[in-house]
Amino acid sequence: MDKPPERPEAGSEKPGAWRPRAGFLAVALVLAVIGCGVLVYLITTPDPGIAGGGATPPVAASAAPAAGPPLAPVPATPPVAAQNPQRPPEGDADPTRDLKSYVPRGANPTMPEVIERLHERGVYSGLGAFSPPGTRPPKVGLAVPEDFELPPGYVRHHQATDDGQRIEAILMFAPGFQLYDAAHNPIEMPKDRVVPPELAPPGLPIRRIVIPPPIEPAAPGR
């Protein structure tokens, strides 16, 4: 039978045989400790995306609101009514006010009523420049032919009767005009500015106008 190998005695190792040394064991122990520390760091360090707020953790649906005083109800803002732009007079796209602006649609007022309504609203131009028929009779003065050339300071004044008949133009002084005599003294001017025969310009035929009589209304059935 073979004999078991004998344990070599101390100091009998063969030259060149390897054995672990204390320095090698110390280095291995340090590396092991470092590796364990790195592993623990990786396990315990949170994900940077979560730590930086990349994801918001879900909030429990049953979370109760923080205690505090009750909030006052916010008053509802009343709806703002749409402002309608000012409409022009009916039947006329021109915003300029005219006779239709003062006469209701479908009305058929007489001429005195139209002039009276214009005066009530402070309109004294156009038809408003005339007095209501019957309130001021036509002026009677010297007739002025259409082909007669008037000197400075004289004007023609046109009129009409209440029933619409045209009256021959009469001679009047222009507003603010003043006559002087040979001595350069002012002559008294008539208050209504109607030229009397003695102040008529040279060459004017002296003839007074005649107011035409009113037109008789037509008999019924004609």
The predicted pLDDT at position 177 comes to: 96
For 91-126, what is each residue's pLDDT tens digit? 445 455 555 566 666 667 777 777 777 877 777 677
The predicted pLDDT at position 94 comes to: 47
Q: Backbone phi, then psi, for 192, in 5-degree steps?
A: -85, 0
Q: Which two tokens stand for residue 162?
A: 């209440």
Query: Which is nearest to 99 in space by CA: 85, 112, 89?
Result: 89
pTM score over 0.85: no
The predicted pLDDT at position 220 comes to: 60
The predicted model gives 58-87 an average pLDDT of: 57
For 23-59, what is each residue's pLDDT tens digit? 667 777 778 878 777 776 777 666 555 555 555 555 5
Q: Is the pLDDT of residue 141 over 80?
A: yes
Contact assessment for residue 104 and residue 113, using Cβ atoms and an 8 Å cutoff: no
Q: Where are the domains of the chain?
A: 93-136, 139-212
Q: Which two tokens stand for residue 64?
A: 């109760």
Q: Taking the CB of residue 141, how many other CB atoms lie within 10 A of it?
A: 23
Residue with tokens 């009305």: 107
Residue with tokens 């002012």: 186
Q: Taking the CB of residue 204, how many other CB atoms lie within 10 A of it?
A: 18
